[in-house]
Structure 1
Amino acid sequence: MSIWLGLCLLLISLPTSAQNAIEIGDEITYEFSNSWSYSAKGDSTDNEVRIFQPTQQQLIYPYAPLYKSTPDSVYSSFTLTALNSSTYGRVFRLHINQPCCTLNRYGIPLDSILQIIMEHDVILAYSSLLDQYIICNMHDFYPSLDKILQHGIPHEFLLQTDDYKLSQPSLNMVSLNVLKYAINAFCPGLSLAIMAQSIPWQDKVTITGKPLDGSSRTMSYCNTTDKVSDENFYRDIKSEEYVSDYMFNYVNENSEEEIDSVEVDSISDDSIDYEAVCDSAIAEVADDDTDSVVIDTTEIDNDCDSLTEDFHPLYNKIKIHITPDGFVAEYNITSTIKLGTALWERRIRLRRKNN
């Protein structure tokens, strides 16, 4: 097994980044929940339930896959065991205790795949930046997955995969993509638990833009505060921006077009870009012994950007707490949008069960 882990890490090794050491053998169990609500207050124009989905223009776009979950509330639980940690990356064993229950947009036999995953834990080897991974023990899954997929692979799923766009993929490659898709569908909180480990620990405050004042629909504001205290790391993000009506989709409980909690596009890169959450405006720390405050108050050209009634304020709050062992203790994301007399809210939470 150690040879396999070493080869996996070597294959995906990238330049190292600041990370906190984890101990081999550490075992952490997480609980993940994702819920949303839409409450209308007697306004006849808001009598149909709508769900907000971020676009690339939104500050929270890095979290967009989690905003595609259409059930009112989903829950999952999983356990990560640290198998290896080095400058080349990290290796974890993933055990899914309770899978997330989501709709299956692409007609993939997820029930059958879940049985396979429950029989074999998945060994994931992450790059040094923790932004991509490979599955080290695919040999445990190929026979069963190939047997399932020989009965037919949904064409719509194949069209979404990068490998299929480049060339006709082998059955093993399709099996790999299907397994990654299933992991994301059953365990959407995994990306939060892993990628948070890549955040550098430093005292730092970053401010971009200005708070919303109604002068322009292109306005945005983000305040990120990073703090290290008693060997714990805390990140607090507050952001504001305007979103338009076209970013909402009506939810039909019987619709076949409802979307899983994770897009297929994310199977080849399911990372979360934390710098992008604040518009990639975080500057270098001036001094390790002093906090760095970066303020960008660039004036915005308001021509043709006037605020109209189809634009609404979006308020986001993100809180991350990482303990001295390098693992996430709690990760909360809350988004609120005021739609006239209606209120839309998304609540995402990842919590360590054995703190």
Structure 2
Amino acid sequence: MIERMRTLLSPNRPWLHLVYLGFFFFAWLYQPPTIEQALVALAAMAGFVALYIFSLRRRDWTVYLGALAAGVLGYAFMPVTIGGAVYLVFAAAMLGWLPHSRLRTAGLVTVALAILSTAWLMQQPLFYVIALLILAAIAAAGAAMGARRQRQEAEGVARQRQASAQAAEAERQRIARDLHDLLGHTLSVVTLKADLASRLFDADPERARSELAEIQSISRTALAEVREAVAGLRDRSLDTAAHEARQHLEAAGLEVSLLLDAEGLTRAQSTALAMVVREAATNILRHAGARHATIRTGRNADGVELAVSDDGRGGARIGEGGLGGLAARIEGLSGRLSVDVAAADTGTLVSVWLPAGEGDSHA
């Protein structure tokens, strides 16, 4: 409500200019009108105010109609009271609120000619006519500046809304990516362990209970991670993610080679690489049918490389979800993610390159 009132009372709005109609009544101080003249003048002013507000809310052809009505009122009242000249000034101001065009220029020229004609038609003094022209020019220029500032305000508000919408969409996508990366991996592991516990329930009850206990632990961890992902607070460690991935892959019967060097990474880089490891491990568990997997990192002067490979059925590619979202995350860190698209049954290689980490915060 306060913001709306501030907008309505802004000097860039045309409504405040109506206070200048008060000049119409100055002549009444030394030449009081009759009752009939006062009633006619007030009725005409009320009609003009209504037309003024209506036309300037629309900012279309009705502004020209309002300017014409103002000119007619000026000519009608100037012989009766010198304050009637304010309507001619208003005619110029109304046209000034319109965008620049030939029609608006023609309208302003017509107002100027109408003011000049009062020197002959109404025998107005030349200095008075010149002063009236100057006032009309100032009113038109002020209205044009106000209209431009109003358009700039509207454009600024539109840009702010667009930026807010883009920020909200970016946050929505971040949450979607994080939830996909977290839940996809976790649910795959839970499904795997639940199947294993089901098969062991009769043959090895103790082992089955152990698997169920791990499912409970993984579920609690996943719940905490989901909350942190929604809040945007989770910093995932590459070292932790790689060891968890190896544990889960080995639990599924794979042989896993882990060659890791996570020193010197920034938190953002470590988090991004951890998400890649988790997504790649999830894809191996779900689709690869592999017997062996390798997770390794290597460093050189230019940056760090991560490779996650398996000897499964292959055919993986970067799509819109999963690896596609991670590719966008890696690109945001000036890196690149690629997937080896070799023929089926030759395995999959997910590789990432990131430039050397900069900054004080390291994983």
Return the TM-score normalized by structure 1.
Answer: 0.19
Higher relative contact order (CA 8 A, sep 6+): 1
Structure 1 or 2: larger helix share?
A: 2
Structure 1 or 2: larger strand share?
A: 1
Return the TM-score normalized by structure 2.
Answer: 0.19
**Higher-Rg member (1/2):** 2
